[in-house]
Structure 1
Amino acid sequence: MKRIPSWQGKTALITGASSGIGEAAARLLSRKGLRVILTARRVDRLEALAEEIIHAGGQADVRPADLSVEEERQRLAEAVMESTGCPDVLVNNAGFGWYGYYHDMPWETAQSMIRVNIEAPAHLTRLFLPAMLARGWGCILNISSIAGNMPNQGVAVYAASKAFLDSFTTSLYRETRGSGVQVCSIRPGPVSSEFFEQALRHPNGRAVPAERFAVPPQRVAECLWSVMNHPRRVAYVPPILALSPWLERLFGGVIDLLGPLLLRREDPTRHPSFH
């Protein structure tokens, strides 16, 4: 395995950097000496974060983009390559969730989720991976979820998107072994962020029960930093969730029975739909 060089002065492109895991990762990596390139849709959030990082002595660039749009992903990659060259680290973090029956999920929401959670990381990886391989160095970190191997009721499209990301990451990890490019899937459990608020805000969405078990996004950022320095194919946050694939194998039948109970329809006056 190649020695991991100093991260001082390296660059990291972080998607979904305006809040949650992306924001926490940007703060941590900038403190570790990396120049962070921040992308998301909310320009005001990105600019405020960049200003905070620069004020603290770090380096940050703002590159707003709507990652659900292919042309904007292409423009983002071109702008980054022109200004700083191929990033040393690509953090595919952008994504959102929705909780409820799939038949209640508006197709527009499902389509947007597929574009952001699946197309965006696959496309950005394709745009930067050839340059990483050519120079023999790079790091691609895909922020997945334990939902990828525990496809429970209420998160049909979200869980499927994370299953794709896990499979995609595993294949890339095996394809790039020995190339100097490291690829990892980081699989957190529930994370305390705007994810839950957004899931409720989307049309016909509901409150996500797992919110009560959420860990701070800083925990995921720390795991990300650990993986950068100690490469591995997959990492869980918290580590005990490495047992999660076995839960599906051992208790999948029980979950099949409990699913309808856990996703029972709630009083619409408590969680009104947004139309």
Structure 2
Amino acid sequence: MADNIDNMYVLITGASSGIGASLAKFLAGQGQQIFMTARREDRLEALSRDIREQGGRADYLAGDISDADFRVFLMEKVQEKGRLDVLINNAGFGYYGYFYQMQWQDAHNLLAVNMEALAHLTRLALPEMVARGSGRIINISSIAGALPNQGIAMYSASKAFVDAFTTSLYRELRGSGVTASALRLGPVETEFYKQARQKENGGPVPAERFAIPVERVNRALWRLLRRPRRAMYVPGWLSITRWVEPLFGALIDPLGPLLLRKAKH
């Protein structure tokens, strides 16, 4: 697959805005064929048209990936178009606030998108990839997976799942020609934070003030495609976060409630 890095067929979930939309435009500009999915068809249509006007190749299918039947249908449509080289599990959303105040439907939807859909789509994509001996699974994760702090109980748990799942897959797939990688992001400038604020009983996420431009994610993912590895942090210095909880968890414990109350008021 490394020999064909400029002509890959890439499926991107959550592609109607934010990181997913930016990746779609960037990868199309690098000569890749893009297949996008998200719920908002109007945005997918506009993005697909924009990519084609710029000389790129893009198709899309609108739907809700929290629905298992849609996921199966999506993968069938993708594989009708050609050989899937790269699956980018990008779709996801968050919530910031007290877990006991979180509406259960919001929690259920978060788990369905951030965990279930990611695992199911990966399961649907892998058999063909393994059979031919090439392919990439890239799961968009977060440093929150290793930092289970106040206000992000469900989101952090979902990203811890993504990290563990991806690490296990990476080890299972050694020698198969297929790789699984986690892109562990810090805060990124997208609609993610706006959506978190709009959830019932949700609130502003303090990390938003430290967000980096989404273009940095594009460049990091391109490096990951060219040189696969188990995990990559963006920005790179955030690799230190893996040691924060083991070393300083006992100090963070008493601060958690105080920080959340301050952020919510």
Q: Do Structure 1 and Structure 2 share a fold, with TM-score over 0.5? A: yes
Q: Distance in 1 between matches of 2:94 and 2:226?
A: 29
- Alpha-carbon displacement from aligned partner over 1:19-77 (angstroms, at most 9, x marks no partner): 11111111111111110001000011111111111111110001112011111111101
Alignment of 1:258-269 (within 5 A): 258-264=255-261
Greater mean alpha carbon deviation, residues 213-222 or residues 137-146: 213-222
* TM-score, structure 2 normalization: 0.97
Residue 266 of structure 1: how far off its partner (Å) = 6.2
Residue in 1 aligned with 2:157? Answer: 160
Give the fraction of aligned pairs with identical amino acids, expressed as a percent.
54
Report the alpha carbon displacement of residue 255 of structure 1 after superposing the two structures with TM: 1.0
Partner of 1:108: 105
**Unaligned stretches of 5+ residues in structure 1:** 269-275
For residues 61 and 110 of structure 1, the distance between their equivalents in structure 2, rounded to whole angstroms, comes to 31
Distance in 1, matches of 2:198 and 2:245, equals 29
Q: Mapping of 1:245-256 within 5 angstroms?
A: 245-256=242-253
Offset from partner CA, 1:117-167 (integer Å, 9 cap, x none): 000110000001000000101000000000000111100000000000000
Tell me what 2:80 maps to.
Answer: 82
Displacement after TM superposition at 1:202 (Å): 1.1
Q: Which of 122, 139, 144 matches 1:142?
A: 139
Q: 2:55 aligns with which of 57, 62, 69?
A: 57
Q: Aligned-pair RMSD on alpha carbons?
A: 1.2
2:27 matched to 1:19?
A: no
CA contact (8 A) 2:189 2:208 kept: yes
2:209 to 199, 202, 212: 212
1:224 is paired with a residue whose SS is helix
* Equivalent position of 2:31 in the other structure: 33
| Counterpart check, 1:120 vs 2:101 | no
Q: Is the deviation greater in 132-141 or in 24-33?
A: 24-33
Aligned to 2:3: 5
Q: Which amino acid aligns with 2:20?
A: G
2:253 match: secondary structure: helix
**Equivalence for 2:227:** 230
The answer to whether residue 167 in structure 2 is matched with residue 170 in structure 1 is yes
Query: What amino acid maps onto 2:145 in structure 1?
Result: G
Tell whether the 8 Å contact from 2:204 to 2:263 is kept in structure 1 after alignment: no
- Contact residue 114 and residue 161 of structure 1 kept, 8 A: yes
Report the 3-state secondary structure (helix = DSSP H, G, I; strand = E; otherwise coil) of the residue aligned with 1:68: coil
SS at match of 1:5: helix
Q: What is the CA distance between 1:265 and its match in structure 2? A: 6.1
Q: Which amino acid aligns with 2:211?
A: A
Q: How far does residue 178 in structure 1 lie from its aligned partner after superposition?
A: 1.1
Q: Describe the shift of the 1:7–1:106 C-alpha distance in structure 2 as closer, same or farther (beyond 3 A).
A: same
Number of corresponding residues: 265
Cα distance in 1 between the residues matched to 2:260 and 2:133: 48
3-state SS in 2 of match to 1:144:
strand
CA distance, structure 1, for counterparts of residue 247 and residue 168 of structure 2: 25
What is the aligned partner in structure 2 of residue 272 from structure 1? none
Distance 1:83 1:4 in 2: 21
Q: Is the 8 A contact 1:7 1:32 kept in 2?
A: no
Q: Distance in 1 between matches of 2:72 and 2:263?
A: 42
Return the alpha-carbon distance in structure 1 between the equivalents of residues 23 and 50 of structure 2. 14
What letter is aligned with 2:221?
Answer: L
Q: Deviations over 1:216-273 (max 9, x none)?
A: 11111211110000111000000000100111122111110110110016677xxxxx
1:200 is aligned to 2:208: no
Q: What is the CA-CA distance between 1:8 and the residue it aligns to?
A: 2.5
